[in-house]
Amino acid sequence: MKKLVEIIGGFTIEILGEAGRTGILFFQSLATLRRRPFYTKVWFEQMLEIGVRSLPIVVVTSVFSGAVFAMQMWEGMERYGSTTWVGWAVALAITREMVPILASLMVSGRAGSAMAAEIGTMVVSEQVDALRTMAVDPIAYLVVPRIVATAFMLPVTVLIGDILGVWGGSLVVVNLYGSSSTMYWDGIWATLTLRDLNSGLIKAAVFGVLIALFSCQNGFHTTGGAKGVGRATTRAVVSGSMSILISNFFLTRLLLES
């Protein structure tokens, strides 16, 4: 029993510590955003790295998720004779939930792990100290560009994913079930609103900030050489993904009520 309490207590302290450190990094980054220099060249490099280079996995994820969801919807709605609503259901799920969540998880796995590994390696090899000795603020140079890039590029990739996800659904509905393309797309145009689209994009921006913060925070607190870098990378992906899934609940409530 004592052991169990110890384990639960240790786990709680670890989670609170992680959240606290990430919160501090968030406020430090906000404060840094108001100070020059801005290292805008690094911002654009990170946008390329995080946004453009993550696009292939987001495209594959979106197309196949849209296709699978369309299949499930068709099978389900066919029982009630309401297959005309498949397009609408696919578009709603894709734009509001599926692509923002799946794309964010993919970016967390790809770009978030890379951020933690890169910063962690820089910490253990004294490159971050070298930045400080050269009067360069590591938060301004390493963290802020990654937050800005992820917060800006994740919604862009999600928007592309939304379009391709819905298109993936249409491929299934038209080619597999022989439905008309017009019926699928008309159902979407008639019911999908800008609010549906925006809701997913707002979520993506928030998830982007969370991914960058958790990844950078874990990178900055790396200790113990190569093993430590590995640990930091794993923690970055796990805590980033958890933060996406948990914050999604509250964001969804907030966005549905607004």
Partner 1 sequence: MIESDNKSEAALGDEGLKVSDNGDGFQVTRNGTEPLIRIEGLRKSFGDLKVLRGADLSVSKGESMVVIGGSGTGKSVLIKHIIGLLRPDEGKVIVKGAVISESSRPDLNELRRSMGMLFQQAALFDSMTVGDNVAFELRQHTSMGAEEVVDRVEEMLTMVGLSGLQDKWPADLSGGMKKRAGLARALAIGPEIILYDEPTTGLDPILADQINGLIRDLQKRLNVTSVTITHDMISAYKIADRIAMLHKGRIEEVGTPGEIQDSSNPIVQQFIHGRAEGPITPR
Q: Which residues bind partner 1 (CB under 8 A)?
A: 37, 118, 121-122, 125-127, 129-130, 132-137
CB 200, min distance to partner 1, A: 33
CB 104, min distance to partner 1, A: 25
Residue carrying the six token digits 């987001």: 58
Comparing CB distances to partner 1, the nearer of 132 and 195 is 132
Comparing CB distances to partner 1, the nearer of 132 and 253 is 132
Comparing CB distances to partner 1, the nearer of 37 and 81 is 37
Comparing CB distances to partner 1, the nearer of 110 and 203 is 110
CB 140, min distance to partner 1, A: 11
Work out the burial of residue 150: count CB atoms within 10 Å of its CB; fewer than 13 is exposed, 13-18 middle, 19 or more buried: buried
Rounded Cα distance between 48 and 119, Å, is 18
CB 127, min distance to partner 1, A: 5
The distance from CA 89 to its chain's CA centroid, rounded to whole angstroms, is 23
Rounded Cα distance between 185 and 167, Å, is 9
φ and ψ at 232, to 5 degrees? -65, -40
Rounded Cα distance between 208 and 111, Å, is 10
Comparing CB distances to partner 1, the nearer of 103 and 115 is 115
Work out the burial of residue 257: count CB atoms within 10 Å of its CB; fewer than 13 is exposed, 13-18 middle, 19 or more buried: exposed
CB 134, min distance to partner 1, A: 5
Residue carrying the six token digits 């969804």: 252
